[in-house]
A = this chain, B = another copy of it.
Amino acid sequence: MVNQSSKATSDQSLGRQNVEELPQLLILHPGPIFSMHESLFEKKFSLLKAWESPESIHHFLTTHAQSTRAILCSSVTPITAEILSLLPSLCVIACENTGVELIDLMECRKRGIYVTNAGPAFSQDVADMAVGLLLAVAMRIPASDRYIRARGWSDHQCFPPRTFKLRGKHVGIVGFGNIGSEVAKRLEAFGCKISYNSRKQKPSIPYEFYPQVIDLAYNCNVLIICCALTDQTRHMINRDVLKSLGENGIIVNVGRGSIIHERELVTSLMSREIAGAGLDVFENEPNVPNELFELDNVVLTPHRGAFTEEVFSNAFKLTMANLEAFFSNKPLITAIKQYD
């Protein structure tokens, strides 16, 4: 699989300035981390920018990328089986983000292609966002802010007291990876009881495990969705789960929009089957169901749980470290476990 071009680059130090001698890095569409750090990637790699070419993607890949061993992708780049079939030398897919749901992982497994992500760079900030959204819904913070800015307070208009006290509440975390464990740590300090649902029970975790998400919902006051989007988790949170959470329950989603059945969530919120929702992710971003705009018990943020400058910088470093590890024949830093 190692052809002349890739052999030449893998033998070389990554510090060289001669573009001809740098290892090739293919990018189909630029993501935010790449866009912000393009010049730094350029110093280390010979960049193959597919999106700049007038050629069809099929023609571009078969003409220019036959020796390409590494691809950098983002959350807006599907890596399908068809694309993989056009890249015979590909060994590693480095994602600059967390979610890898647009990558055909089964095909990667078949072809022995490693996939890395930058998840750990984002997890603490995403956990902060999950707790921020929960507090914003529970304490009606954006609704209060709207009420004051609309001069409701100074005009002595009625504003209902909030009814949701955090202490003593039972919080169910769906997906107990990096983000889920950071959320748990924060909410314990607020006096919440934590339980979780995950693909399988994790013996090292001291919280109660619920194999079925509907049972977790039934026993909890809050559900926080922190898992990855997979065939198994798509639409896992449907109306039955929301009904189990109940009319005093709050749901927060910092995972992926499609983990929740969005139409059913809208129905549940409009008919007050649940008390509120804090949503950073949606099924069809950047489109958000219009019905939600009318609801005071919903808090909406534009999929930017982790959009801080520090996080961008950390995600860049981690993505680069994975690529450098690959081209130096060292262990990848954050390889996705494809057989978990």
Contact = CB atoms under 8 A, between A and B. Distances in A.
B163 A309 contact: yes
B145 A307 contact: no
B147 A302 contact: yes
Q: Interface residue tally of chain A, by bracket?
A: 35 or more
A339 interface: no
Contact of A148 (B124, B191, B302, B309): B302
A151 to B, nearest CB: 8
A139 B129 contact: yes
Contacts of A311: 165
Interface string A83-126: 00000000000000000000000000000000000000000110
Interface in A287-340: 287-288, 293, 299-302, 304, 307-312
Contact of A141 (B133, B149, B154): B133
A58 interface: no
Contacts of A131: 135, 190
Contacts of A147: 302
Interface in A134-190: 135-136, 138-139, 141-142, 144-149, 153-154, 156, 159, 161-167, 185-186, 188-190
B128 A132 contact: no
15 contacts: A131-B190, A135-B135, A135-B136, A141-B141, A142-B142, A142-B145, A142-B146, A144-B300, A145-B299, A148-B300, A148-B302, A159-B304, A161-B307, A161-B312, A165-B311
